Amino acid sequence: MRDGRHPDGAHVLRAKIDMASPNINLRDPAIYRIKRATHHRTGDKWCIYPMYTYAHPIEDALENITHSICTLEFEDQRPFYDWVLEKLAAHGMLQRPLPQQIEFARLKLTHTVMSKRLFLKLIEGGHVDGWDDPRMPTLAGARRRGFTPEGFRLFAERIGVSKADSWIDPSVLEDCMREHLNEVAPRRVAVLDPLKLVIDNYHAGASELCHAPNHPQKPDWGKRDMPFSRELWIEREDFAEAPPKGFFRLFPGNKVRLKYGYVVQCTGFDRDASGKVVAVHCDYFEDSKSGTPGADAHKVKGVIHWVSAMHAFEAEVRLYDRLFQAPHPGKETGNYLDDLNPESLRVIRACLEPSLKEVKGEERFQFERHGYFVAGDRTSPGTFSRTVTLRDSWGGQAPGR
C-alpha cells in the first residue's frame, strides 16, 4: 500500500480489536486507506493516509493535549480513542498521562446554519459576501459585525455546558453583546432616515455648540461638542402630520426638546410635488437650551435627536439582521435557502454627527436610539455596520424591523 502497488480503494489497513463488540467502532475499524492526493507539505511522497478517528488521538497525544473536547456524536468513538492511545503507550510510543476525550452538547443556534458545506453554498450562490460576511456565524464575520471577545465570554458563561442537546436563540448572544457594549461604547448621534427641520426664528448662517456626554453613566469620559444651526436633520419617524394617540414627538403645534439643545414648537411643514413631507418648520425658545439656567421651566413630553445639516456628514450605514427568518432553516420545505431573510442586510445613507468623521476602523459606538454600530475595517472604510439593536424585538415581529 505504501509503495503504491495498489489502486485507490483496493485495500485498507484495519485495527484488529473485536468483531463481536457491541460498539461498531471497535469492530476492526479501518485506520489507513489508499488515496493518491498531493499533500501541501510532502507533495506526492505518500499515497496512504490515516482515517480521522485514528489520527485524532495520536495528534492529541503528540501535541500534549490534556482534554479533547468533542461534541456528543463522538461519544461512541471514545472507546477507540482510548484503545489507540493505550496500545501505543504500552509499546513506549507515547508518554503518559494520555489525553482524555470529553463530550458535551454542540452549540446550536436557531435562525442560522452551522455546517461549512451549507456555508459554502451560501457563498457560491451569492447570498452572502464571503466567509467574513457579518451575517455569517464565523469569528471573522462576528468581528466585522462588531461582536466583542468579552461578549462571547459572557455568552459562554451564560449558556453553560451541558450533555443535553438544546437550541439557543440568537437573542441570548445579542443580549451579551449589548451588555458589554453598553459599558464600553461611547454615545454618538446618527440620523438614519433624515428629514429636514428648519428653525425659522434662528439666525441664518449662525451656529453654536451644544454639549453631549460621551457616556451618560461615566461622567469621567467627559463631553463632546455638537454644533447646532438653523437647519437640522431629524428622524422622519419623529414627525407626524396627524399623530396617533400617545405620540409625543413633532406635529403641528406640539413642543419637543431637541436633545442637548433647545425646546422647539412645530409651526408647519413643506411637501414636494408628490405630496411627501420634505421639511418641517418650527420656532425655538431662546431660554430653553439644555444645561442653562431656566431651561427646566420648559416642560415637554417628547425628546428627539438631531444633527446639524451644516456640519453633519453623510455615510453608508449597513443594517444587518438575522440571515434566516425561520428558527430552523429548511425544516418545513427541506431547502434551507427558502428561509433566507430578504431583509438581512439593508444599506442606507445616513447623516452623522461630525465627531464620527475621523474614527478609526473597528471602533464601536452606540448610536442613540438605534443600537450599537462598528466603524468599517480596511475592507469597508468609511462605513458603519449595526452590531445589535438596543433591544431584541424579533418575537412575533417581521424581520428587518
User: 258: exposed, middle or buried (C-beta count within 10 Å: 0-12, 13-18, 19+)?
Assistant: buried
Residue 393 pLDDT greater than 70, yes or no: no
Residues 182 and 315 in one domain: yes
Q: Give pLDDT, residue 37.
A: 92
Claim to verify: residue 98 and residue 49 sit in the same structural domain: yes
Q: Which residues, including other chains, have CB under 8 Å from residue 104's CB and lie 6 or more apart?
A: 69, 70, 71, 72, 161, 162, 163
Model pLDDT for residues 310-353, shown as the tens digit of each residue: 999 999 999 999 999 999 999 999 999 999 999 999 999 999 99
Number of domains in the chain: 3
Q: What is the mean pLDDT of residues 141-169?
A: 93
Q: What is the pLDDT of residue 161?
A: 86
Torsion of CA 117, 318, 387, 343, to 10 degrees: -60
DSSP state of 248: -
Q: Looking at residue 159, what DSSP letter applies?
A: H
Does the pLDDT at position 365 exceed 90?
Answer: yes
pLDDT in tens, 238-295: 999 999 999 999 999 999 999 999 999 999 999 999 999 999 999 999 999 999 998 9
Q: Are residues 288 and 197 in the same domain?
A: yes
Cα distances from 17 to residues 26, 51, 82, 170, 206, in angstroms, run 6, 16, 12, 44, 88
Domain closes at, from 59, 89, 104 = 104
| Residue 162: predicted pLDDT | 86
Enclosing domain of residue 143: 106-189+310-401
Q: Are residues 80 and 136 in the same domain?
A: no
The reported pLDDT for the residue numbered 397 is: 40
Q: Residue 398 has what pLDDT?
A: 36
What's the average model confidence in pLDDT over 124-140? Answer: 96
Asked which of 53, 70, 104 is the last residue of a domain, the reply is 104
Q: What are the distances in angstroms from CA 202 to CA 14, 206, 238, 303? A: 87, 8, 21, 19
Exposed, middle or buried, 165 (CB in 10 Å: 0-12/13-18/19+)?
exposed
CATH number at residue 318: 1.10.1160.10
Give yes or no for a contact between 128 and 116, defined as CB atoms under 8 angstroms apart.
no
Q: Are residues 395 and 360 in the same domain?
A: yes
pLDDT score of 392 more than 80: no
The arithmetic mean of pLDDT across residues 160-180, rounded, is 92
- Residues 358 and 289 both lie in one domain: no
Inside any domain, residue 269: yes
The verdict on 318 and 175 lying in the same domain is yes
Q: Is residue 78 part of a domain?
A: yes
Distances (CA, A) of 240 to 130, 235, 264: 41, 11, 15
Same domain assignment for residues 82 and 40: yes
* Domain final position from 104, 120, 153: 104
Is 327 part of any domain?
yes
Task: Report if residue 198 sits inside a domain.
Answer: yes
Residues 185 and 316 in one domain: yes
Residues 54 and 92 in one domain: yes
Q: Is residue 4 part of a domain?
A: no
Confidence label for 399 from pLDDT (cuts 50, 70 and 90): very low
- Predicted pLDDT of residue 395: 54
The percent of residues in the chain predicted with pLDDT above 90, rounded, is 91
Give the C-alpha separation, 23 to 65, whole Å: 25
| Across 125-147, average pLDDT | 96
Same domain, 184 and 331: yes
Using an 8 Å Cβ cutoff, are 260 and 307 in contact?
A: no
Please check whether residue 297 lies inside any domain of the structure.
Answer: yes
